[in-house]
Amino acid sequence: MTETPLKHLAIIMDGNGRWAKERGLKRTKGHEVGAETIRDITTYCAAHTTIETATFYAFSTENWKRPKLEVNFLMKLLDTYLKNELETYQKNGIRFLAIGNIDEFSKSLQKRILLTQELTKDNTHLTQILALNYGGRAEITHAVNHLISQGKSKVTEEDISNALQTPYSDIDLLIRTSGEERISNFLLWQLSYSELTFTQTLWPDFSPDELDKIILNYTQRHRRFGGIK
């Protein structure tokens, strides 16, 4: 059995485009269905007995390289998602947080993000974190520069952990969907001793049932954190 329960789950949501292509649909349809999957998985996590935080890789710093029409669609989808999910957040006691540099988003989208954070700040069943315009290297660099600006001449691991955007920084379990087996600049600091699971399932098809099976597998692992016991 694991030495600690699953408290912080992180997911790289991959495969929306391939899911749509397999069905002869536009990539945007894959993103729409993928947004519904976020709702299902988040609701599952809110009802779970040990999960406190679920962090989703929603838009990376590298995603700006995608076609402009797709990027614009993703921005509109995010705005709509947050607007529609507010009821879900409140009903299920979910606190919403965003990490990443949202300053590059439109003013209206920034306002939506900040408003949703404010309206859900007192919810306690689960913290859902969306990584938006996020990169792991950028987060670490920002944290170190912040510490330097505070006059730090010597930086400790604890200093960096406390300066990161991500609360409850250690990730217990990372899941990546779609069969790809890489981290893709996601939560690089926080994943140092995380358990990793890669599934062939494309994100729009990922279900609470599959997550339940993955978590069961996780609970049967023995986490040593560099030790031998």
Q: Do the beta carbons of residue 164 and residue 143 sit within 8 Å? A: yes
In total, the chain counts a number of residues equal to 229
How many of the other CB atoms lie within 10 Å of CB of 153? 6
Say how far apart CA 202 and CA 154 lie, in whole Å: 44
Say how far apart CA 221 and CA 213 lie, in whole Å: 13
Q: Catalytic pick from 14, 16, 92, 133?
A: 14
Q: Catalytic pick from 16, 40, 63, 72?
A: 63
Q: Do the beta carbons of residue 208 and residue 9 sit within 8 Å? A: no
Active site residue 40: no
According to DSSP, the residues that pair with 12 across neighbouring strands are 57, 176
Collapsing DSSP to helix, strand or coil, 98 comes out as strand
Collapsing DSSP to helix, strand or coil, 197 comes out as strand
Active site residue 162: no
| Residues classed as catalytic | 14, 63
